[in-house]
Amino acid sequence: MIKIETKKQNKAPSTFYYLSKTVGKAIHEYGLIENGDKILVAVSGGKDSAALLKILNYKRRYLPVKYDIAAIHINMPQENEKVGKTLEKFFKDEGVTYYFRSATFENNKQNKRGGKCFWCAWNRRKELFIAAKELGYCKIAFAHHMDDIIETMLMNLFFNGEISAMSVNLKMFGGKINIIRPFVYAEEKLIEKFCKETKVPVFADKCPYHKENSRFLIKNIVKQVDRICPHVKTNIYRSIKRVKGDYLI
């Protein structure tokens, strides 16, 4: 009998490994986390922020710097009550300190600047800054990923007539609080796979106005271009760092 030897196929690295690697790269290149940092992770209840909390909590065991993290969720008036209870269980399972705060929505201002989405985000962020100051956290981590950054750049180009995006490490209030975005190198599809693979629960209800804002329009434009140019997202992101001043007006 002839024995046929078959090579064992190496199991492909999980999305946990890939996503963790992109976060490690961002932390190193942008100096996002320093020894002794107290980081407040803004968790909306969606896939991105839940994944960020899990990754940052995991990396505390392996990074050479020591830092503390806590989760914070800002309740909005239209939010389903079940979201808070499910989030609390998630935070407990992760073994992290957590806080809940409430924000109000100023309806009289919602149509004066940026519509509903602007004021919703503005009120959430206002509460985050207040909480960070009161609780003694020096940094706030947002889960904006590569797709968010390139969409913001295109929105500013199309609707505001300017070339700008999101800062990965933004100092505010005289450096008292830093906004950091560790998912800067992660595409949304990688985060989606990570959540499915690791069974990270997604709690937030989809915003009823998500199809009414300009980001939804830009997202569809990028998706259409991606069909004929698979590297469009990477190219747009890289273009932010490759500005040729001699060829600008």
Domains of the chain as residue ranges with CATH:
15-243 (3.40.50.620)
When pLDDT is averaged across residues 43-50 and rounded to a whole number, the result is: 91
pLDDT for residue 37 is more than 90:
yes
Q: For a pLDDT cut of 70, what percent of the chain falls above it?
A: 83
**DSSP label at residue 183:** T
Per-residue pLDDT reduced to its tens digit, 122-131: 788 899 999 9
What's residue 13's pLDDT? 60
* In contact, 149 and 162? CB cutoff 8 Å: no
> Rounded to 5 degrees, what angle do the CA atoms 70, 74, 79 make?
135
Give the tens place of pLDDT for each residue, 199-216: 887 765 555 555 667 888
Write down the pLDDT at residue 204: 55
**pLDDT for res 82:** 76
Given a cut of 60, is residue 5 above it in pLDDT? no
Contacts of 226 (CB under 8 A, 6+ apart): 232, 233
Percent of the chain at pLDDT > 90 equals 61
Q: Does 224 have pLDDT greater than 90?
A: yes
235, pLDDT greater than 90: yes
Q: How far apart are CA 23 and CA 18, in angstroms?
A: 9
End-to-end CA distance of the chain, in Å?
A: 77
